[in-house]
């Protein structure tokens, strides 16, 4: 609704343990009928995952109907996936400290 996520989507995150995503790498992505809703990534999803203390990759991927098969979508997706892969080794394992220093996150993305 209004470039945000639905109440049903939010209710899923409401039942998650507050520490479930702490330190976990996350790639945000969404699809929609038009490009007018592309700000959902920055306006709604990035703040949600920041609140949950997840490590969100810099590149988000939004694809409107007209983006499927168009130039640029594959490159954005590849870039975001590469950023996610670079951060995966930093993800905390069960029982480990869930805080990854920003310098380590940045170094992983620059490799």
Q: Is residue 1 part of a domain?
A: no
Residues 35-86 pLDDT 10s: 888 888 999 999 999 999 999 999 999 999 898 888 889 999 999 999 999 9
Give the pTM: 0.76
Q: Residue 62: give its domain's CATH number.
A: 3.40.50.360
Whether the predicted pLDDT of 98 surpasses 90: no
Question: What pLDDT, on the 0 to 100 scale, is given for residue 38?
Answer: 86
Question: What pLDDT, on the 0 to 100 scale, is given for residue 102?
Answer: 63
Question: What pLDDT, on the 0 to 100 scale, is given for residue 2?
Answer: 61
Q: Is residue 2 part of a domain?
A: no
**Residue 48's Cα: distance from chain center in Å?**
10
Q: Is residue 90 part of a domain?
A: yes
Q: Is residue 45 part of a domain?
A: yes
Q: Is residue 58 part of a domain?
A: yes
Q: Which helix (H) or strand (E) holds 64?
A: strand 61-64
What does 23-58 look like in DSSP terms, one character per residue?
Answer: T-EE--EEEESSGGGTTHIIIIIHHHHHHTT-EE-S
- Average model confidence (pLDDT) across the chain: 85
Domain ranges, residue 94: 7-110
Higher-confidence residue of 82 and 108: namely 82
Structurally, the chain folds into a number of domains equal to: 1
């Amino acid at each position: 609704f209004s470039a945000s996520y639905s109440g049903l989507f939010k209710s899923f995150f409401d039942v998650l343990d507050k520490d479930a995503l702490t330190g976990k790498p996350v790639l945000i992505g969404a699809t929609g009928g038009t490009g007018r809703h592309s700000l959902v990534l920055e306006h709604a999803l990035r703040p949600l995952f920041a609140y949950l203390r997840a490590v969100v990759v810099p590149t988000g991927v939004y694809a409107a109907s007209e983006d499927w098969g168009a130039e640029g979508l594959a490159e954005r997706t590849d870039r975001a996936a590469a950023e996610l892969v670079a951060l995966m080794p930093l993800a905390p394992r069960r029982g480990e400290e869930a805080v990854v220093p920003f310098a380590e996150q940045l170094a992983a993305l620059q490799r």
